[in-house]
């Protein structure tokens, strides 16, 4: 791979041989073996020059990335101290509850590393905003980003016992039209909440609910629900502590839609601090998976309690 890239960079087999300190014949043999191993024609040769094929260009990009990562791994093996700044983004509440504790444990394990966090409730462009790693809570579109699935969260419907004692318990999604709800859409006083049409089916149907309060803060919405203002529809991690304490009760569990995937995403080619980024990813993935697993277990326990 190194010889093949040297040929492309030098512009000829002979120039690559001089740069590498070997014979032109050995350069030619190396490229031929690489083509045989890959099953693709990488270079179109003439007696005086060559051109890189489309497949050759794709292979070259992969080889450059791979050789860069290998060099960084070798450098890290010689100097295992992790240095540099890792920039992480995540949704505000999820980041505060789950990502920041993992960042803190990473910094404790690597005293010479630094981290910068951007906790915002919007999709951040990693390249434009200089982000190394992002936590995404949504199905991922096709992109050039590398993604590692961490787990899933659920879309729950909850209310405080005091609200339910006063207004009754909705038995099916359509019952919500007669209840006061708390929305997370700051643009209006109504929201569409999606549920399975039947507990055993997969078809999704939306219910339009009236929101007495709308806010862009999931934490504020959960606090209002705890005080009995109405029914809330958060993601499970927003209210796991309230459910554990019994200050919120999950509703309509058989009608829940599909779970929401949680992923760690990052550009495939790192910057100068890629060693620190890779170490953070290796540190964060198992810990975030464990936290999401615990959150899922708590939600499952609440289902059994409701039943």
Q: Which domains does the chain have, with CATH numbers?
A: 2-78 (1.10.10.10), 84-148+268-298 (3.40.190.10), 157-258 (3.40.190.10)
Q: Assess contact for 264 and 134: CB atoms under 8 A.
A: yes
Distance between CA atoms of 294 and 286, rounded to whole angstroms?
12
Which pLDDT score, from 0 to 100, does residue 307 have?
A: 45
Beta strands in the chain (DSSP E): 43-45, 50-52, 84-90, 113-119, 133-137, 146-153, 157-159, 181-183, 190-196, 204-214, 231-232, 249-251, 260-266
Which pLDDT score, from 0 to 100, does residue 130 have?
A: 87
Which pLDDT score, from 0 to 100, does residue 87 have?
A: 94
Question: Could you tell me the pTM of the whole model?
Answer: 0.65
Distance between CA atoms of 2 and 191, rounded to whole angstroms?
57
Which pLDDT score, from 0 to 100, does residue 286 have?
A: 95
Neighbours of 15 (CB within 10 A): 15
**3 state DSSP class of 151:** strand
Q: At what angle do helices 2-10 and 13-20 cross, to 10 degrees?
A: 120
151 forms bridges with which residues in the sheet? 262
In degrees to the nearest 10, what's the CA dihedral of 175, 178, 180, 183?
A: 60
Q: Which helix (H) or strand (E) segment is 242 a member of?
A: helix 236-245
Which pLDDT score, from 0 to 100, does residue 162 have?
A: 96
Which pLDDT score, from 0 to 100, does residue 65 have?
A: 83
Distance between CA atoms of 134 and 143, rounded to whole angstroms?
14
Contacts of 176 (CB under 8 A, 6+ apart): 157, 170, 193, 207, 209, 231
Which pLDDT score, from 0 to 100, does residue 168 have?
A: 95
Distances in whole angstroms, Cα of residue 252 to Cα of each of 3, 5, 210, 212, 256: 62, 59, 17, 20, 7
Burial class of residue 234 (count of CB atoms within 10 Å of its CB; 0-12, 13-18, 19+): buried
Burial class of residue 261 (count of CB atoms within 10 Å of its CB; 0-12, 13-18, 19+): middle
Which pLDDT score, from 0 to 100, does residue 305 have?
A: 47
pLDDT, block means (10 residues), the chain with 307 residues: 91 88 90 90 82 90 83 64 88 92 94 92 86 91 83 93 96 94 77 90 90 88 95 91 93 92 83 74 94 70 49
């Amino acid at each position: 791979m190194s010889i093949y890239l040297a040929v492309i960079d030098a512009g000829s087999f002979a120039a690559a041989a001089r740069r590498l300190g070997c014979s032109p014949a050995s350069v030619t043999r190396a490229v031929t073996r690489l083509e045989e191993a890959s099953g693709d024609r990488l270079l179109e040769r003439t007696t005086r020059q060559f051109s890189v094929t489309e497949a050759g260009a794709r292979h070259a990009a992969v080889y450059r990335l791979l050789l860069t990562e290998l060099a960084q791994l070798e450098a890290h093996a010689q100097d295992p101290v992790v240095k540099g700044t890792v920039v992480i983004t995540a949704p505000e509440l999820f980041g505060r509850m789950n990502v920041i504790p993992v960042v803190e444990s990473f910094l404790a394990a690597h005293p010479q590393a630094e981290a910068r966090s951007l906790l915002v409730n919007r999709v951040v462009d990693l390249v434009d905003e200089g982000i190394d790693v992002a936590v995404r809570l949504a199905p991922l579109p096709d992109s050039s980003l590398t993604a590692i699935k961490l787990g899933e969260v659920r879309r729950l419907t909850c209310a405080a016992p005091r609200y339910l004692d006063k207004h009754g318990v909705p038995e099916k999604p359509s019952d919500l039209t007669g209840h006061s709800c708390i929305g997370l859409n700051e643009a209006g006083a109504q929201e569409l909440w999606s549920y399975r049409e039947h507990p055993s089916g997969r078809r999704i149907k939306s219910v339009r609910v009236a929101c007495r309060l709308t806010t862009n803060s999931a934490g504020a919405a959960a606090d209002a629900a705890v005080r009995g203002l109405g029914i809330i529809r958060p993601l499970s991690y927003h209210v796991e502590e309230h459910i554990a304490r019994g200050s919120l009760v999950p509703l309509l569990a058989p009608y829940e839609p599909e779970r929401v995937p949680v992923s760690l995403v990052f550009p495939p080619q790192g910057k100068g601090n890629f060693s620190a980024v890779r170490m953070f990813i290796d540190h964060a993935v198992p810990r975030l998976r464990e936290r999401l697993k615990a959150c899922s277990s708590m939600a499952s326990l609440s289902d059994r309690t409701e039943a």
